[in-house]
Amino acid sequence: MSPPADRPTIVEPPNLKAEAASLQKEIAVLKDKLAKTQSQLTAATAAVEKAAAQAAGAAAIEQRTMYSLSKARKELATASQSLKEVRNQIKEREAMSARIVKDIKEKRRIRSELKAQIKNETRNFEKIQAVLDQITAKLNRPLQQKQQTPGNTPPAPVPRQPAKKGFTLRFASDTALETLISRKKVHFFALAGQKTWQLKLANGRPVYIAVKIPSKIYEMETTTVPANYTAVFSRQVAAFGRSTVTWGVTLPDQTAASINRLIKDRDGGDLIIMPDGEVILN
């Protein structure tokens, strides 16, 4: 449709059309660039988000790793402490074992020495015993009974060991004799007529009981016998005269050996038996 005749016709200059076409091309190019930029932006955003996610994951992993590392360090410290304690216990056990081994070796050494000493002492004892037996055989002589009852057979001889002529045997005190009797280390006898009585302590009080004559006896002087022993004998048995009762004791081997050792090569003296059974010569 053509414009009214009374209106002027606008004719677009040719250069404007070219410019418009040029602008359209530039716009198209810009749109294409915009699209590419938008695409790049989207890709960059996705990359950033991915990187952020990876960073967050790495942080979580690092946190878990640090936690595990901290836990492992604590366990390592505990294990180290336990190992240290075990090592200390091992050292203590080793030291104790070393002491025990040393003690065992020392005891074995002492036992070996004691065995050797006992063996030597046994040999010496056997030699001494042989000598003592010879001396005893020489010193033994029968105790003659002071009195015989008419019409009866003569009393059996009683061996006596007054040591040697000139020796007297006594105890350090009445208490010493009583102590040794109560311990059954010494046995005290009274001999009169054809009978023998042994003194026993009943609740600490002397009592005489008829017994057989001992095979070996050491005679005691009447003056050395405790007065209550003679008094009790007179009351319980009979009132024999002082000269008709023989008092004597049997002694343990150790005491007898001491006596024989002391009287060897001596002419006389006062043999005193102590409360522990040891003998001294005055």
pLDDT of residue 105: 82
Instruction: Kindly report, residue by residue over 107-133, the tens digit of the pLDDT.
Output: 787 777 767 766 665 665 555 555 555
pLDDT of residue 121: 59
In a domain, 60, yes or no: no
Q: What is the mean pLDDT of residues 162-169?
A: 64
pLDDT of residue 229: 92
Q: What is the mean pLDDT of residues 5-27?
A: 74
Q: Which domain holds residue 217?
A: 140-281
CA 25 to the chain's CA centroid: 113
Instruction: Kindly report, residue by residue over 197-254, the tens digit of the pLDDT.
Output: 999 988 888 899 999 999 889 999 888 899 999 999 988 886 555 557 899 999 999 9
- Host H or E run for residue 1: none
* Tokens (6 digits) for 235: 């009351």
In a domain, 202, yes or no: yes
CA 197 to the chain's CA centroid: 50
In a domain, 19, yes or no: no
In a domain, 28, yes or no: no
In a domain, 126, yes or no: no
In a domain, 84, yes or no: no
pLDDT of residue 103: 75
* Three-state SS annotation for 103-148: HHHHHHHHHHHHHHHHHHHHHHHHHHHHHHHHHHHHHCEEECCCCC
Examine the pLDDT at 175 and tell me if it is beyond 60.
yes
Examine the pLDDT at 149 and tell me if it is beyond 50.
no
In a domain, 54, yes or no: no
- DSSP H helices, the chain, are 14-139, 174-182, 227-236, 253-263
pLDDT of residue 160: 46
The domain tally of the chain equals: 1
Q: What is the mean pLDDT of residues 85-106?
A: 86
Q: How confident is the model at residue 101 (pLDDT cuts 50, 70, 90)?
A: confident
Report which of residues 251 and 164 the model is more confident about: 251
In a domain, 149, yes or no: yes
Q: What is the mean pLDDT of residues 149-155?
A: 44
